[in-house]
Structures are given as C-alpha cells and as structure tokens.
Amino acid sequence: MRKILFRAGTILVLLIIAAVMFFIGRGHTIYFDNKNLDYEGTRYEAVRRINVSVNGEQVARLSKKERGMATCMGQSFQFDIEVIREKNGESEFYSYSLSLPYGMDGIIVNLPGIMSGLPQDAWMSEFIPAPEPPDEENEELPGEEDFDPAGEI
Amino acid sequence: MSRRSLSGRNAVRFFSSNSVPIMFILIIAVCVPIVGFSPAFLLNEIVTRFSRNAFLILSLLIPIMAGMGLNFGMTLGAMAAEIALIFTSDWQIWGIPGVVLAMIISIPISTVLGLLCGKILNAARGREMITSYIISFFMNGVYQLVVLYMMGSIIPIVHNNIKLPRGYGIRSSVDLTRIRKCLDNVLAVNIGGVRIPLLTVAIIVLMCLVIVWFRRTKLGQDMRAVGQDMEVARAAGINVERTRLISIVISTVLAGIGMVIYLQNMGDMATYSSHSQIGMFCIAALLVGGASVDRASIGNVFLGVILFHTMFILAPAAGAKITGNEVIGEYFRVFVSYGVITIALIMYETKKRREKAGMGELLAAAQREEEKKHA
Amino acid sequence: MSGKTRTELTAGGNLRDTLREFGLPRLIIAAFLLLMFIIAPFTGVNFWAQITNVINRFSWNAVLVLAMVPMVHSGCGLNFGLPVGIIAGLLGATLSIEFGFTGFASFVMAILIATPFALAFGMAYGWLLNKIKGGEMMIATYVGFSVVSFFCMMWLVLPYKKPDMAWGFEGTGLRTTFPVDKYYGGVLSNFLKIEIGKLVIPTGALLFFAFLAFLMWAFLHTKTGTAMTAVGSNPTFARAAGIHVDRIRMLSVVMSTWLAAIGILVYEQGFGFVQLYNAPFNMALPAVSAILIGGATANKASITNVVIGTILFQGIVTMTPTVMNGLINLDISEVLRMVVSNGMILYALTRKSEVSR
C-alpha cells in the first residue's frame, strides 16, 4: 500500500513538474514595430526613435518603420522603452507588462499603439512566418545504419 | 616464495588486467606531442566531452551488475530522448524547462521500450548481448516508422520547420539552439582557461552517488546476486526475471536522460543517426576505462570517458600530421572503438571458459577424492 | 516415432505441428509476399518486370546466404562475421582490376586472388572462434566490424593506381563506389540470358549458384560433411566418436568465409558496382535474416532454406517499394525491411529449442 502511494506520488510530482515546465518554458519571440497603426479610423503615427530594453538590456533601437525583436520564456513579459520624438528632444520613459497568449510563437507589438493606450487587440498580432519556398531537392533520408566515421560525439 | 617474484607477478597481473587502459595511455602519449594542441584547448575539449557523455555511460553500469552484459539496448533510451526532444521543440519549450520536460517525457517512452527489451532478453538468456544488439536495429526500424511516417500525419506536429517539405515526417536534423548548453551554462566557472560546467558535473556526481546507494538497497543486492549466479539467486527466493527486467528498464531510462544531456550540449540533433552510434561509442568508452563484460565501476566510467575521448580528439589531427590525410584518423578511431569492444568480448569469453574448465577440474578432483575414500 | 503415432491420432494436430515447424513469422512473410504479387497487377506494376527483379536480386544474393550454411552446420551459429569474407572478396576484386584483367578473366582472377585471402582470414577467424566457443555470434559481429573498419584505412593507404577505382589527382586511395561494367559486370548474368518479353532470366548467375549449392549439398553428404553436422548437433558425442571438433569447426569457418568472398563478387557482377569502405558493415544482417526466413535455425540449415529464404527476403525487398508506391504513394519499404529482417533474427534468438545447443 505504501509502495503504491509512493509510486503514485512520484508520478504526480513528475506530472506537476512537467505541467509547470509547459508554462514557464514556453518560448515566444516578440517583435516590436515602430510603424503607423490604423485603428477605428484613427492613425497612430510612428515615432522618430524608440529604444527598447528588456531586463535593463537594450534589445532594439528603432527608427520609423523599423522592427526589433526579443525572446521571452513564460507568459509574462516586461519591457521598457525610451521614446525620442524629436531630434535632441527630451526622452520619455515607459514600462509595460504584457501577458502573452500561450498559443502564439511570434507576437508583434505595435509600439505607437501601446503607447496611446489602445486595447490589446489593437496593437498585438500574431507573427506568421512567410512560407518557405518549396524545397525541390529531396532531403536525404536515412538508410539502414547511417555510418559516418567523422561523426562527432 | 621470494618477495621480489611476488611483486613481479603482481605487476604482470596488473598490466594484463589493465591492458586496454594502458594501451590507450600509450596511444595518447604518442599522439599528444605529434599533434601539438595547447593544453588548455585539450583540457577544454575533454571537459566538454566528459560532461556530455559521462551520464550516458553511467547508464550501462546497472545491467552489467545484473549479469546481463553490455546493454546495446541503451540505444532505445536514446531514441526515447530524441522523440521527447522533437516534441519539446515543436511545442517551443525553451531553456532548462525544455530540458527538464524532455527528460520527463522520455521516461515513460523509455520505460515501455525497456520493458519490451527486458522481456525479450529474458527469453534469450545467455545471448543477451547479441539480442540487445539486434533489438537496437529492430527498434531503429520502428523509430523510423514513427518519426518518418507517423509524425505530422498521425501524431500532430505543428511547426513546418521541423517537418519534411512533403508535410509529414521529421527533417534529418532538428535544431535545438533554444536549449543549447542551457544546463552547461548554469554555474559554469572558468579555471585557467578551462570552462567547467558545474551544474552538469554536479548532475553526474549525483548520479554516481545514486548508483552507489542503489548497490546497497535490497534491489541492488538482488541484482548482484542474480549477476553472480542466476540459479543460486533463484534458490534464495529472488525473482530473477523481474530483477533482470528492472535492471534493463533503469538502464534505458537513464540512457534517455543521458541522451537529453548529450543533445542539449550538442545543440543540434541528427534525427536518424544520433542514436545509432551512441551505444557503440559509450560501450567502447566504458571498456577503455578498464571495465569488462561482467565487472564495471564508476571509476571505469570516468577513466574511460577521459581516455577514449582524448583519443577521439587527437586521432584525426594525428592522422593528418602523420599521413597527410585527416580521414585516416577518423577511420582509425572507429577501428579502435570496434577493436576495443572485440578485445573485451574475447577476454570475457576466454575467462568464462577458463573458469568453467577450472570448475570442471575442481569437480573431478573432488570426485577422485570421494572415490579414494570409498575404496 | 512418437510423431508418427501422433499423426495417426489427430490430423488436426499434425497440421498444427507442420505450422509450428514452419513458424508463424515465416508464414506471415510468405503470405505477405503472396499478397504483394496478387496486388501488384492492380497497381499498374508490370508483373513480369517484378518477377525479373526478384530473380535478379536472388541471383546476386544467394551465394552470400549460402555462406551461412557451413557454420550453422558445425554449431558456430549464424555467421555475423560475414564481412570478414566480404573483405577478402573485395581484395580479390580490386587486385584483379588493378592487374588489368577484363571481362570473364577478371572475374576468374578475382576469385583466384580472393581465395588465399579468404583462407588466411578464415583460418585466423576460425582459430579465434574456437577459443571462445559459446560466444560466437557477438564476437563474430565485432570481429567483422573491426576488420571492415581496419580496411577502411587500408583502402585509403594501399597503393592502388588504376584510375577507374582510385581517386584521380592526389592518389589518396580508392573511391567509395565504382562501376565494374568494363570488367566483370554481368559476366554471369548475361551468360545464356533468356528474354521472354519483359521476363529476363540471368541463367548464368543462377547456374553458378546452383553449382555452388550442389557442391555444398554433396559436401554435406561426404564423411567430413556428416562429421560437421555431428559436431553441430552434439559436440560431446562427436568428440567421443573421434572427430577433431576444432578442426571441423575451423573448416566450416574457412568455407563460410570463402563463400562470402565469392558471394560478394557474384553480387557485384549483378549489381554492377564495387562498394568499399562502410558498405560491408550492412551486409551480414540481410544474409542472416534471409536464411532464417527460409526456415533455418541457429543450428540447422539446408540448401532449401537458402533458396526459399533468399526468394522471400529479396521478394519483399523488391516488391514492397513498387507496390506500396503504386498503391498509396508511400515508400515504407526501408522501414519494413529493417523491421522484418531484424524481427526475424530476434525471433530466432528467443526460440529456446531452436538455438540452444
């Protein structure tokens, strides 16, 4: 009886760890856009320069119409931006904290949109990678035993 | 008997029972000056390969303890790890969580494979090694069936970048950069230009401690009894089949975890060939460390992984220096791997025969004694 | 005798016995192949072209499978060390070409040159196997691998010069694959070739195999041959009967090695290419599983097993890809071949009654 409980406990603990890993290990790529955004008939203009940093480390310096990226594990993501609207002008600093949708690998965040305080669906969208050109050459498929003397181990 | 001749005989015995490691030390001693690598480079490579491979080799110890010889079926654990890593990279689980999740997913797969392997090996008693060797080929076919045909068609795979262009099946190489060296980079320290991945080393040491502890448990004792003499163990009330089965399952599971550690260091997975050679090289490394088919210790693992991989690093460069052809060195290290396994197998079989013959003589002597008494 | 009484008692039991003797896996494989042949015409595959294919592959491989027979008879088990003989054959092939022989002469010379190598290798290999009775199969496997990997180096180092097989400018050893159509390619297959529409029969190669198989059959009925069988079935009894067990075993290994050397030459003349380096690694297992599929066990094998086994094995290897492709446009033949051939070996290894000696 004790044995069964012990085993069930071990399995349960492993399952819980696995479940936790699913959430804290889920990787996302976040793309920051400094681009014009049209939302409900209004245009939110891109800004002269935005510097994006994550955990105090600068990940992107974006001029107008540029895109930067960062990676993130887990569903909560914090980043800071420094906005410079005019040449030699004052910097404005903002911090944002997002909760990322689990199902999206790549997430585009439109910075002018988020700065204007729009609802999330206005400035967040999924990044869909361009479909790869169909590879005509046949990929090499395995044989009985692929023996490669130069194989690294 | 004089003291000197005794010590002389001891020396002979020492050399004959450690001939393989000594031979390797000689090869390395010849190669090092020829190749002329800097000590820091060489040490770095050795440490990397040690942390990459030691856990996998440790997985071989338990079946040897249970008298089942070299477990060529450890390949099955490696396959389980690869399947697990295909899933975690498709689900985009990165970093240490990805590694931990892959380990956990590999456990049920390797348990099932290990049970299957153990069942077959129980039916093929006395021929465990050749059978486990063939099992690894057999399961390689099943693995290809699953990975090349069922993944993406029956088993859902979301991302196109790991699928073949035809829409199902996994590409021949899976990119693991998202978990690359994530264990090795934690707590890594730099000592005199040599980078030591402390976390990985700690995991390996922990595994050694677990093995030492395991030997003393009831199950471990049973395994040693089964390894020594199956019939005696059975008479003592040990469930021999079950014990042997468990030893193979443990080995397969450990091999799966070891393979995840190995692949996170590589950062790239050759879907259809990573596992096919890993068994051979791990077994060769263990034997180079002075282990034999029926006796292997943790010390053998450490010595073996260091000696074998030093040879592995040196051989191509030495081949290039000596003959002007690097490929010769690559073939040489493969030849040495196979050669070492062959020699170890031959030594084991001759020893077994000699023991059997010795036993026969003892029996005959006892019988004569008996007859004399009766007469 | 007890079998006879049982036959008289129940006809059903008899059928079951025959089935058991034939073995379930064998039955499944035979049924599968039959199914393939039945389906083949419906998938638009030319039936006669397929038959030709199977006969061709049979003629290439049968000698390699025949090489299994002597060692099984003498109780040395399945010859997983087939590559040892294959290397001897490859030495014969490359040297014959290097010396400039062409056509049929190059084939004969290849056999002649390969023979001393096969004898020497076979004797060393047999001596070793006599030292480690009981553990032959595993050690044979690794002896084979060691020899193949040693010769991987040799193919690079040996001073071959013939431009057809050596790497051109730098002269660093032999190519991995080279064609033999200028030399002995097809010398057997094209001899007395019969062509009826799509059906082509490589008579010469079949005759050559029949000749070797007949020699083997005749040998097994000589005094030495029966002694070999005796050594295999009961070594203690054989020793008591005054048979030199070790010498007989040695002879069987030498024969097996020589047949493997001939076998690879026959294979090459049909296939049209010589494959060096890593190719011999993968040649033992198909031959082992072919003879097992044919009904042999680890200590019992006949010429019939060789013929049936090679036809079934090569039948599956050639039929499945074409039929599968025609049917569902999916080629799982490679996987199927691995599962079937290794599964068959596993089945034989786990049969207690069949393998134990």
One DSSP character per residue, C150-189 reads HHHHHHHHS----TTTB-TTT--SB-SEEE-TTTTTTTTT
State whether residue A143 sits within 8 Å of chain C by CB: yes
- Strand pairing report for C177-179 and B188-191: unpaired
Q: What is the DSSP string of B161-196?
A: GGB-TTSSSB-SEEE-GGGTTTTTTTTEEEETTEEE
Q: From chain B, pick out residues whose CB is under 8 angstroms from the CB of C285.
A: 137
Which residues are CB-neighbours of B366 under 8 A, at least 6 positions away?
none
Q: From chain C, pick out residues whose CB is under 8 angstroms from the CB of B144.
A: 334-335, 338
Copy the structure tokens of residue C346.
Answer: 């596993």
pLDDT band, residue C269 (cuts 50/70/90)? very high
What's the confidence (pLDDT) of residue A136?
47
What's the confidence (pLDDT) of residue C297?
80
pLDDT band, residue C317 (cuts 50/70/90)? confident
Worst-scoring range by mean pLDDT, A51-65, C25-39, C48-62?
C25-39
**How crowded is the C-beta side of C336, counted as CA atoms within 13 Å?**
18
Separation of alpha carbons C60 and C290, rounded Å = 13
CB A107 within 8 A of CB A77: no
Q: Is there a domain that residue B108 lies in?
A: yes
Which residues are CB-neighbours of B285 under 8 A, at least 6 positions away?
B53, B57, B301, B304, B305, B307, B308, B309
Q: What is the mean pLDDT of residues C199-206?
A: 90
Q: How many CB pairs below 8 Å do chains A and B form together?
A: 94
The SS3 of residue C201 is strand
Contact A149 C338 (CB under 8 A): no
Contact B94 A17 (CB under 8 A): no
Q: Is there a domain that residue A148 lies in?
A: no
Q: How many domains does chain A have?
A: 1
Which residues are CB-neighbours of C87 under 8 A, at least 6 positions away?
C117, C121, C147, C148, C151, C280
Pick from B53, B93, B140: which is nearest to A21 by CB? B93
Numbered residues of chain C with Cβ closer than 8 Å to any chain B Cβ: 80, 128, 131-135, 137-139, 141-143, 145-146, 149-150, 152-153, 156-157, 172, 285, 330, 332, 334-339, 342-343, 345-346, 349-350, 352, 355
Lay out the sheet containing A66-73: strands in order across.
Answer: A66-73, A27-34, A106-110, A124-126
List pLDDT tens digits, range C145-190.
999 999 998 998 888 888 888 876 666 788 888 898 888 888 888 8
Q: From chain A, pick out residues whose CB is under 8 angstroms from the CB of B161.
A: 132
* Residue C109: pLDDT over 90: yes
CA distance C244 to chain B (A): 19
The SS3 of residue C136 is helix
Q: How is chain C split into domains, by residue range?
A: 25-37+46-349
Q: From chain B, pick out residues whose CB is under 8 angstroms from the CB of A142.
A: 144, 148, 172, 271-273
Q: How many residues does chain B have?
A: 375
Radius of gyration of chain A from Cα atoms? 23
* Residue B322: pLDDT over 60: yes
State whether residue A147 sits within 8 Å of chain C by CB: yes
Q: Which uninterrupted H or E stretch holds C8? A: helix C2-9
Separation of alpha carbons C53 and C323, rounded Å = 13
Which residues are CB-neighbours of B309 under 8 A, at least 6 positions away?
A153, B45, B46, B49, B50, B53, B285
CB B72 within 8 A of CB B140: no
What's the confidence (pLDDT) of residue A31?
92
Q: What is the mean pLDDT of residues C268-293?
A: 90
Which has more confidence, B25 or B367?
B25
Separation of alpha carbons C145 and B338, rounded Å = 6
Give residue B144's domain range. 47-306
Percent of chain C whose pLDDT exceeds 70: 91
What's the confidence (pLDDT) of residue C114?
95
Q: Is there a domain that residue B3 lies in?
A: no
Q: What is the mean pLDDT of residues C80-108?
A: 92
The SS3 of residue B132 is helix
Q: From chain C, pick out residues whose CB is under 8 angstroms from the CB of A149.
A: 149, 152, 278
Contact C156 B327 (CB under 8 A): yes
List pLDDT tens digits, range B92-102.
999 999 999 99
The domain spanning residue B131 has which CATH number?
1.10.3470
pLDDT band, residue C14 (cuts 50/70/90)? low
What's the confidence (pLDDT) of residue B236?
92
Burial class (CB in 10 A: 0-12, 13-18, 19+), C326: middle
Separation of alpha carbons C178 and C165, rounded Å = 6
List pLDDT tens digits, range A6-64.
999 999 999 999 999 999 999 999 999 988 888 888 888 888 889 999 988 888 888 88
* Residue A149: pLDDT over 80: no
Separation of alpha carbons B5 and B187, rounded Å = 52
Q: From chain C, pick out residues whose CB is under 8 angstroms from the CB of A142.
A: 334
CA-based nearest residue in chain C for residue A143: C334
The SS3 of residue B295 is strand
What's the confidence (pLDDT) of residue B211?
95
Burial class (CB in 10 A: 0-12, 13-18, 19+), C240: exposed
Q: Is there a domain that residue B19 lies in?
A: no
CATH number of C25-37+46-349: 1.10.3470
The SS3 of residue C196 is strand
Separation of alpha carbons C123 and C185, rounded Å = 30
What's the confidence (pLDDT) of residue C160?
85
Q: How many domains does chain B have?
A: 1
Separation of alpha carbons B280 and B285, rounded Å = 9
CB B259 within 8 A of CB B78: yes
What's the confidence (pLDDT) of residue A144?
45
Phi and psi of B143, rounded to 5°? -60, -45
Separation of alpha carbons B190 and B323, rounded Å = 36
Which has more confidence, B70 or B367?
B70
Separation of alpha carbons C225 and C279, rounded Å = 33
Contact C152 A149 (CB under 8 A): yes
Count of other CB atoms within 10 angstroms of residue A51: 17
Q: What is the mean pLDDT of residues B209-220?
A: 95
* Residue A139: pLDDT over 70: no
Separation of alpha carbons C120 and B310, rounded Å = 35
What's the confidence (pLDDT) of residue B192?
83
Worst-scoring range by mean pLDDT, B145-149, B302-306, C322-326?
C322-326
Count of other CB atoms within 10 angstroms of residue C6: 12
Task: Identify the CA nearest to B77 among candidates B37, B148, B123, B132.
Answer: B132
Q: What is the mean pLDDT of residues B17-39?
A: 87
Q: Is there a domain that residue B347 lies in?
A: no
What's the confidence (pLDDT) of residue A152?
63
Per-residue three-class SS string for chain A: CHHHHHHHHHHHHHHHHHHHHHHHCEEEEEEEEECCEEECCEEECCCCEEEEEECCEEEEEEECCEEEEEEEECCEEEEEEEEECCCCCCEEEEEEEEECCCCCCEEEEEHHHHHCCCCHHHHEEECCCCCCCCCCCCCCCCCCCCCCCCCCC
Q: What is the mean pLDDT of residues B103-122?
A: 95
What's the confidence (pLDDT) of residue C19?
65
**Mean pLDDT, chain B, as a whole number?**
89
Pick from B49, B94, B278: which is nearest to A73 by CB? B94
* Residue A150: pLDDT over 60: no
Which residues are CB-neighbours of B149 under 8 A, at least 6 positions away?
B168, B169, C330, C332, C335
CB B336 within 8 A of CB B326: no
| CA quadruple C278, C281, C287, C288: dihedral, nearest 10 | -170
- Strand pairing report for A27-34 and A106-110: parallel
CB C93 within 8 A of CB C110: yes
Task: Identify the CA nearest to B249 among candidates B223, B280, B288.
Answer: B223
Please name the chains neighbouring C, where neighbouring means 3+ C-beta pairs under 8 angstroms: A, B
Count of other CB atoms within 10 angstroms of residue C10: 11
The domain spanning residue A94 has which CATH number?
2.60.40
CA distance C234 to chain A (A): 37
Q: From chain B, pick out residues whose CB is under 8 angstroms from the CB of C338.
A: 137-138, 140-141, 144
Separation of alpha carbons A18 and A15, rounded Å = 5
Which residues are CB-neighbours of C84 under 8 A, at least 6 positions away?
C121, C122, C125, C143, C144, C147, C257, C260
Separation of alpha carbons B159 and B174, rounded Å = 12
What's the confidence (pLDDT) of residue B208?
96
Q: Is there a domain that residue B278 lies in?
A: yes
Q: Is there a domain that residue A142 lies in?
A: no
Q: What is the mean pLDDT of residues B245-269?
A: 95
Q: What is the mean pLDDT of residues C348-352?
A: 79
**How crowded is the C-beta side of B96, counted as CA atoms within 13 Å?**
8
Separation of alpha carbons A143 and B367, rounded Å = 58
